[in-house]
Structure 1
Amino acid sequence: MRRAVLTVLLLLGLAACSGPERPAPRPSPSTAPADVTPSDVLRDLERRHDARLGLLAVDTGTGTVVAHRPDERFAHASAGKLLLAGAVLERRGTVGLDERVRVPDETVPHSPVTESRTGRTLTWAEVLDAALRLSDNTAANLLAQDAGGPDAVTEVLRAWGDDVTRVDRLEPDVNTAVPGDERDTSTPRVLAGHVRALVLGDRLAEPARERLVGWMRASTTGTALVRAGVPSGWAVADRSGGAAYGSRHDLAVVWPPHGAPLVLAVMTSRRGQDDEGRDALVAQAAGVAVDALMARR
């Protein structure tokens, strides 16, 4: 009996010394989205082109992300025409696109459609087509004015949850892109979010979204950009932009032959005014990002 009591006391003492039982460790949650950024390759592209490169690309099916300087500011230039179009389409839908608007008597530079229609009228559908497909600058100003001007466009963006993008001026002043000037700037991460919401999401009613995608797929200004960086035959809808100080951008949705679409925002800038090779930089960066995303499928 005494030996049994001693044994029990010994076991109780050992249990007390060992402290409370620790819960089994939980498995760490998976990181989502997964980052597969080929950083060395993208930094090498920056060195070779003597430029700053911003990129955010996401596979909407897997959530895999490629990111390089995704939160740095770049002048959005004509890529911002997508935001103007989204603001007008959200307000007007497709019902109001047959209404007509008068083209000013004087147009601004690079207005391939409106310069031949001064003093006459266009439908809002024609204005959107000119801005998105041909990057007509006077058409972009008409869109901004229909939305209420730059301040009102900014309010729309804030309502969309964007507290980063700035819309301060009209064309062609948005294209000065002076380094350090935050007017008319945004980031690749934020702009990629807008592309996804406008082209693939439910920010716009379906008829308006379909019209937007049609104009972006028919765009003629980005053939040397993301379209040149993906395999031939892949469908692309994009809105490009270009400004001073080596600014060249492309906001795009890419549909591979199989699987979910990819969303890309590629932006560049330089310290100097030289813009040589900037199209190639965007195309090459897009190709690197797409290859990295597709390799993870």
Structure 2
Amino acid sequence: MPRTRTRLIAAAVLTVALPLSACTTSTPPSSEPTAATPSAPAPSTAPPSKPAPSIDVSGQLAMIEDRYGVTIGVSARTADGSAVEYRQNDRFGYASTIKVFAAAMLLKTTTPEDRAAVVTFTEADIDEAGYSPVTTEHLATGLTLEQLAEAAVRGSDNTAMNLVLKALGGPEALQQFLRTLGDDTTVVTSYEPDLNTVTPGDDNNTTTPAAFTTALQSLLADESIADTMLTWMRGNATGDRLIRAGAPTGWQVADKSGGAGGIRNDIAVVTRPDGEQLILAILTTTDDPAASYNDAVVEETARVVLGAIPTPR
């Protein structure tokens, strides 16, 4: 989605990030989250702790935008509650990044017996969906629902995504699931390959960086599926040139990528060598609707954002 070229959106914000303490177990999504009502904090005479220093990478990200002719949106939330945000509330097409939430919904809302059911599919299903490297190899035998969910995340398999989404009740059900994760923004209306289509002025098939970090953070707080989700995301076969390529040496990245036309995205759980985790969403689109995406945009954005986050001494 073309942007208005202002530079007012990009300051790092330290007051809106959610705590990531539940993520330090290296585990993603789980069963349906139940909102707990927090008890009132006890009065304290201790001096307030100092907030993490403000991080502003707007100038560097604006240079990347200008160099590649793209619009970039970023939301990064760290374990200490700080955040690096740039166009975090702007809408972008989500493309295949949405698959991670469909897989998480399956793990959270179905029984092991349900997930063990074998699903068969046809050549017509594959032809209609498009990119389907895993299901193509299992046309004769089918796959279980859980295997399909894994294929949607690891292999970005479109047929697998469609079959999982149908089993869950369709796009509307996935959108409602995202609402339970605190994401009131993402609009899910389509199956593959139509979910990659974004029309200017239409919110269908779009999200914001802030919405996706909120949803992913909520999933990681649920230990019942976090380990499985992180394992699948670490095995993502389509993300090596994205956030992983821009991460400092020794940092581990579990991600889900997405790309179509001018859209190139990556959302990730990034673990530093000290074990601290952060959630990062990078969503991008070319300013020229006819242009194709460039992986280097996400890689360079990740390098700037992750390089700006202070590490413990």
Q: TM-score interval w.r.t. the shorter chain?
A: 0.7 to 0.9
Flag the structure with larger Rg.
1
Q: Which consecutive unaligned segments of at least 5 residues does structure 2 have?
A: 1-46
Query: Alpha-carbon deviation of 1:100?
Result: 1.4
Q: 1:65 maps to what in 2?
A: 83
Write out aligned runs for 1:144-159 (5 A): 144-159=165-180
Query: Alpha-carbon deviation of 1:210?
Result: 1.3
Are residue 75 (structure 1) and residue 96 (structure 2) matched?
no
**Percent of residue pairs bearing the same amino acid type:** 37
SS in structure 2 opposite 1:252?
strand
Give the TM-score taking structure 2 as reference length: 0.78
1:219 corresponds to which letter in structure 2?
N
Q: 2:268 aligns with which of 218, 231, 252?
A: 252
Q: 1:181 aligns with which of 196, 199, 202?
A: 202
Q: 1:230 aligns with which of 243, 247, 253?
A: 247
Which sits farther off after the overlay, 101-110 or 123-132? 101-110
Q: How big is each residue's C-alpha offset from its partner over 1:4-34, in whole Å with a ceiling of 9 and x where there is no partner?
A: xxxxxxxxxxxxxxxxxxxxxxxx9778675
Q: 2:103 aligns with which of 65, 75, 85?
A: 85
Write out aligned runs for 1:1-297 (5 A): 35-60=54-79, 62-92=80-110, 94=112, 96-106=114-124, 107=126, 108-118=129-139, 120-198=141-219, 200-202=220-222, 205-206=223-224, 208-244=225-261, 246-272=262-288, 273-276=290-293, 278-294=294-310
Identify if the C-alpha distance between structure 1 residues 148 and 195 changes in structure 2 by more than 3 Å, giving closer, same or farther: same
Q: 2:30 maps to what in 1?
A: none
Query: Alpha-carbon deviation of 1:52?
Result: 0.3
Identify if the C-alpha distance between structure 1 residues 166 and 31 changes in structure 2 by more than 3 Å, giving closer, same or farther: farther
Aligned length: 265
Give the whole-Å Cα distance in 2 for the aligned partners of 1:29 and 1:183.
Answer: 43
Give the whole-Å Cα distance in 2 for the aligned partners of 1:179 and 1:148.
Answer: 27
Give the TM-score taking structure 1 as reference length: 0.82
2:75 corresponds to which letter in structure 1?
L
CA RMSD of aligned residues (A): 2.3
Q: How big is each residue's C-alpha offset from its partner over 1:176-223, in whole Å with a ceiling of 9 and x where there is no partner?
A: 23333311110000101122222x312xx52x2211111111111000
Structure with higher helix content: 1
Give the whole-Å Cα distance in 2 for the aligned partners of 1:97 and 1:89.
Answer: 8
Residues 74 and 84, structure 2, Cα contact 8 Å, conserved in 1: yes
Which sits farther off after the overlay, 96-105 or 47-56? 96-105
Query: Alpha-carbon deviation of 1:293?
Result: 1.0
SS in structure 1 opposite 2:199?
coil
- Runs (4 or more) in structure 1 with deviation over 4 Å come to 28-34
Give the whole-Å Cα distance in 2 for the aligned partners of 1:109 and 1:130.
Answer: 14
Q: Which consecutive unaligned segments of at least 5 residues does structure 1 have?
A: 1-27
Q: How big is each residue's C-alpha offset from its partner over 1:84-107, in whole Å with a ceiling of 9 and x where there is no partner?
A: 111111112545432211223421
1:48 corresponds to which letter in structure 2?
R
